[in-house]
Structure 1
Amino acid sequence: MSDELTTLHDDGVLEIAISLESAGNSLDGDAIVQGTEALHEVMRGQRKARAILLTGKGRNFCAGGNVAHFGAADDRRQFLRGLAHDLNSFVSALYATSLPTVAAVNGWAAGAGMSLALHADFAVGEPGTHLRPAYPGIGLSPDGGMSWLLPRIVGLARARTILMRDEVLDAQTALDLTLLSELVEADQVYPRARTIAADLANGPTGAYAAIRSLLMTASSNTLAEHVVAEAESIADLAITGEGVEGVNAFLAKRAPDFPSARH
């Protein structure tokens, strides 16, 4: 599967472009719909992806929704509800795949672009990267899960300040807040993110899925509940192909071959 918006690479990385320079790097509705379908194909076993890479085609990762389209809509309420539904379907599919996700965050990640950058397990930025909620600037509230995830990353008080003041976060601030994972030179954002995604695709995807699940449920579990979930998870993984290969490789003092263990 390969076109302008989605590419399944030979190493198992599913690359999804969420914005196009031709549209000012605003969130591309077709990209979100096609990306959601691609993720559903992964879940149906029709696409053998093992990691996801989110990119923007142009100078920016994603400058947010196309406000001109908002203004031109005959029924703005219905129009925005539809856009939010499509974005939420994409975010839900990202999590449902249980695959590690990397974002190549060059330039601006504003509005929905910031939401999607937050959902990545690894977000690679550059000195010119800026994050901004952007919603209050046009009198709107967040979508795409921003108001759910941001306080889980930076804490409620800091999230409230960032959102209500519509703060522009420069690259170093975003890194300090762990909204970005690392900074590289501008021309290295995509190569670095691509490398991380390939490394993850080559790793123990079952363990990654379990780690992501445990982290996401930790805040709603008691300690007693969570250690039981951890015990069940590690026991289940111990008898998977990857779990067996990992332990055997350790005992044999060799590098594990996780891709072969999946078959």
Structure 2
Amino acid sequence: MDVRVEPRLDGRVGILELSGRGGTNPMDDRFVRELDAAAAEIAYAAQGGRIDVLVIRARGRHFSVGGDLADLAQVEDPSAAMTHMTGFAHRGIATLHALEIPVIARWQGAAAGGGIGLLLVADVVVASRSASLTAGYSAVGLSPDAGVSWGLARRIGPERALELLLSNRRLDAAAILALGLASEVVDDEELDARVEARVAQVLEVGGAVLRTTKRLVQRAASVAIGDQLSEEAKGIAAAARQERFVVAVARFAGGTDGR
């Protein structure tokens, strides 16, 4: 099976699914081109208010083993090919990072190289006990790509990120959870149900509040507290005009708050 990155919409949910190469989902030239196009399609749907959450998932035994070295071995100039491929991959990754809606990743099996970059796009990562992570770059004489250096440094701190990238050590599911690279770890047979539960939880919040909350959290590390407080005030005032809050207040006013 050829490697594919397939976007689709399921009601208010966007799905980005990886498939190919015996369930290993390596990142070759076709993969990065399709990733770029798929990310743009998902972003268009999110901006148009058609979806409120994105799920990134993969078919097969593994999430993604990263760059396809067998594919690069066939080209005359691997460096030029790498430059060409990262152009597509990085535009797609940047588009996914910029999404105004929450992103949930479903992680089974191995993640390595650029596959880690896709996981780092997610706001919530549900991993199975089969999940493992190996950076892979230093083992073949490469530095990181696909936003891995940026994402790891932000998620686990620069010191731990550097150690992980240079040591190339393998993390199992327990270590992944302990480092904060997964939101939760579940038995493999429970993975789909937990992802569905997370999606339902997000959709229950509602589109406007989802977008405001994600925007506030994303900007928090780069703005002063005064600016953040101002944005919070605007956001909560806008949310207070929405039907869900109006109904909630009416229930309390009528003494039907459930207590």
Query: Into which bin does the TM-score normalised by the smaller protein fall?
Result: 0.7 to 0.9
Counterpart Cα distance in 2 of 1:120 and 1:75? 33
1:104-115 equivalences in 2 (<5 Å): 104-115=106-117
1:148-181 Cα offsets, whole Å, 9 max, x none, are 1212111121111111112211111111111101
- Structure 1 residues 102, 63: CA separation in 2 closer, same or farther (over 3 Å shift)? same
- Maintained 8 Å contact 1:21/1:58: no
Percentage identity across paired residues of the two chains: 26
- Maintained 8 Å contact 2:105/2:124: yes
1:4-23 equivalences in 2 (<5 Å): 5-10=6-11, 12-22=12-22
- Structure 1 residues 22, 34: CA separation in 2 closer, same or farther (over 3 Å shift)? farther
Structure 1 unaligned blocks of 5 or more: 255-263
1:251-262 equivalences in 2 (<5 Å): 251-253=249-251
Report the count of equivalent residues: 246
Larger radius of gyration: 2
The one-letter code matched in structure 2 to 1:26 is P
Out of 16-25 and 135-144, give the one that drifted further: 16-25
Task: Supply the RMSD in Å over aligned alpha carbons.
Answer: 2.3
- Maintained 8 Å contact 2:23/2:60: no
Secondary structure at the aligned position of 1:18 is classed as strand
Counterpart Cα distance in 2 of 1:162 and 1:21? 27
Counterpart Cα distance in 2 of 1:203 and 1:44? 18
The one-letter code matched in structure 2 to 1:13 is V
The one-letter code matched in structure 2 to 1:39 is I
- Aligned partner of 1:36 among 39, 44, 51: 39
The TM-score with structure 2 as length reference comes to: 0.85
Match of 1:247 in 2: 245
Is 1:150 the counterpart of 2:148 in the alignment?
no
Query: Offset at 1:51?
Result: 0.9
- Structure 1 residues 44, 204: CA separation in 2 closer, same or farther (over 3 Å shift)? closer
Structure 2 unaligned blocks of 5 or more: 253-259
- Maintained 8 Å contact 1:131/1:174: yes
Query: Offset at 1:30?
Result: 4.8
Counterpart Cα distance in 2 of 1:76 and 1:21? 21
1:52-109 Cα offsets, whole Å, 9 max, x none, are 1101111111111111112222222221122222222222222333111111100011
Match of 1:136 in 2: 138
1:56-205 equivalences in 2 (<5 Å): 56-205=58-207
Secondary structure at the aligned position of 2:119 is classed as helix
- Structure 1 residues 147, 4: CA separation in 2 closer, same or farther (over 3 Å shift)? closer
Counterpart Cα distance in 1 of 2:107 and 2:9? 20
